[in-house]
């Protein structure tokens, strides 16, 4: 239970951190983003961490720690399986057989995700299964790379075999899904323009808010670390003045720079949107596009109470369905229309 909770929590945190680049890559390689693909990648992230949590956790404490051995016999499972079959009854009730089956099942999703999400076939699945399994086994063999003086779990080459077999079976099972024969997962029509929907505009807004929040949080944490560990000033950390200032300035600076340079916010770039036309001078139009988006939202966060920021965010969301092509506040303030960035200028 503990390992599963850790896998889910860490997987969700990784999904949040990787969401913006994931959206950008999806729009460039596949032309768009589907809910099913989002769920598949989220499941893959949780699964990736589940491999580590279930094979490494819980870490032993000093009073329960004991060194484990090494098994290098690639056919060591045969006597155990033979004994289980000779005993009669359901062989799956045998602990050794259960271990073999679970080792296969644990890596079956890996081969599935390699083909469905990566567009790679059986050879890549075999290499991924063997590589990930070897990394796990050697992590155990080295006592988490020197954290412990000796292995706290058995290093077994049979685990390498069964894990690799599981990845192969997952890759073959994925062939039952349509479209999995396409190598690399790249759609040939990815560069063609697509309709600008309200959902796509909201997705761009989500990328901007999420991306700017991560940048601001990272900058604020970095400032607090410098204040506490380098400058030795815990009072400044408690006051929060510097972290607030830098945590606001960092995303505002980055988003303004990107918008001034490209005419598009980070979210626009991620989902292939662009504002065009209008009578305003280019520099003014790009500034208004930034202020009508996440830059204005972040700056309003400096006001006490948070009411102004909340109202701005609600207005930004509500104006999307009420304006042409979902151009929203940025389009209204800049006087520009919203188009697919892949359309000819």
Q: Residues 6 or more apart from 192 whose CB is under 8 A from it?
A: 31, 342
Comparing C-alpha atoms, which of 175, 183, 217, 205 is closest to residue 314?
A: 205
Residue 49's alpha-carbon distances to 110, 216, 315, 333, in angstroms, are 12, 26, 38, 44
Task: Locate 30 and state its tokens.
Answer: 């596949």
Among left, alpha and beta (phi > 0; psi -120 to 50; other), residue 263 is left
Cβ proximity of 338 and 327 under 8 Å = yes
| Residue 166 in this model has a pLDDT that exceeds 80 | yes
Q: Which carries the bigger pLDDT value, residue 142 or residue 317?
A: 317
CA 83 to chain centre: 44
- Which pLDDT score is estimated for 292? 95
Q: Are 251 and 182 in contact (CB under 8 A)?
A: no
Whole-model pTM: value is: 0.82
pLDDT of residue 1: 65
Asked if residue 175 has pLDDT above 60, the reply is yes
Give me the residues paired with residue 148 across strands. Answer: none
Taking residues 186-202, report their average pLDDT.
87
Identify whether the C-beta of residue 136 lies closer than 8 Å to the C-beta of residue 164.
Answer: no
What is the C-alpha to C-alpha distance for residues 172 and 34, in angstroms, rounded to an integer?
24
What are the residues whose beta carbons fall under 8 Å from the beta carbon of 334, sequence distance 6 or more?
275, 278, 280, 284, 285, 286, 288, 289, 292
d(CA 118, CA 127): 13
- Measure the CA–CA gap between 196 and 193, rounded to whole angstroms: 9
Q: How confident is the model at residue 145 (pLDDT cuts 50, 70, 90)?
A: confident
How many CA atoms within 13 Å lie on the side-chain side of 200? Answer: 25
Mean of pLDDT values over 36-62: 84
Phi/psi class of residue 49: alpha, beta or left (left: φ > 0; alpha: ψ in -120 to 50)?
A: alpha
How high does pLDDT run on average in the chain? 88
Q: What is the full DSSP assignment across 217-235?
A: HHHHHHHHHIIIIIS--HH
Task: Report the pLDDT value the prediction gives residue 243, as an integer from 0 to 100.
Answer: 93
- pLDDT value at residue 162: 92
Residue 183 has pLDDT above 60, yes or no: no
pLDDT in tens, 50-93: 888 887 777 777 666 777 778 777 787 777 777 666 666 666 66
Q: What residues pair up with 173 in beta bridges, in sequence order?
A: none
Confidence of residue 291 (pLDDT cuts 50, 70, 90): very high
The predicted pLDDT at position 104 comes to 92
What integer pLDDT is reported at residue 2 of this predicted model? Answer: 67
Structure tokens at 246: 């830098």
């Amino acid at each position: 239970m503990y390992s599963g909770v850790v896998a889910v929590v860490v997987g969700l945190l990784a999904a949040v951190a990787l969401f913006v680049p994931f959206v950008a890559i999806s729009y460039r390689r596949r032309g768009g983003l589907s809910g099913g693909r989002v769920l598949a990648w989220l499941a893959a992230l949780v699964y990736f961490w589940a491999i580590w949590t279930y094979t490494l956790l819980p870490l032993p404490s000093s009073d329960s720690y004991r060194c484990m051995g090494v098994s290098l016999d690639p056919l060591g499972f045969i006597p155990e399986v033979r004994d289980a079959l000779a005993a009669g009854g359901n062989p799956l009730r045998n602990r050794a057989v259960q271990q073999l089956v679970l080792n296969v099942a644990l890596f079956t999703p890996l081969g599935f995700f390699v083909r469905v999400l990566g567009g790679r076939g059986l050879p890549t699945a075999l290499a991924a299964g063997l590589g990930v399994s070897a990394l796990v086994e050697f992590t155990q063999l080295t006592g988490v790379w020197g954290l412990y003086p000796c292995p706290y779990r058995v290093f077994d080459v049979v685990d390498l075999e069964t894990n690799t077999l599981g990845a192969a079976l997952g890759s073959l099972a994925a062939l039952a899904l349509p479209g999995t024969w396409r190598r690399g997962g790249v759609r040939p029509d990815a560069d063609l323009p697509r309709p600008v929907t309200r959902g796509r505009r909201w997705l761009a807004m989500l990328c901007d808010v999420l991306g700017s929040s991560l940048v601001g949080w990272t900058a604020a944490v970095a400032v607090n670390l410098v204040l506490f560990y380098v400058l030795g000033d815990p009072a400044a950390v408690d006051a929060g003045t510097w972290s607030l200032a830098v945590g606001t300035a960092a995303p505002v600076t980055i988003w303004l720079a990107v918008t001034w340079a490209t005419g598009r916010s980070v979210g626009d770039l991620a989902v292939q949107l662009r504002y065009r036309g209008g009578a305003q001078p280019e520099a003014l139009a790009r500034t208004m596009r930034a202020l009508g988006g996440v830059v204005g939202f972040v700056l309003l966060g400096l006001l006490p109470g948070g009411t102004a920021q909340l109202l701005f965010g609600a207005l930004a969301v509500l104006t999307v369905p009420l304006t042409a092509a979902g151009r929203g506040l940025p389009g209204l303030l800049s006087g520009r229309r919203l188009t697919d960035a892949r359309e000819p200028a």
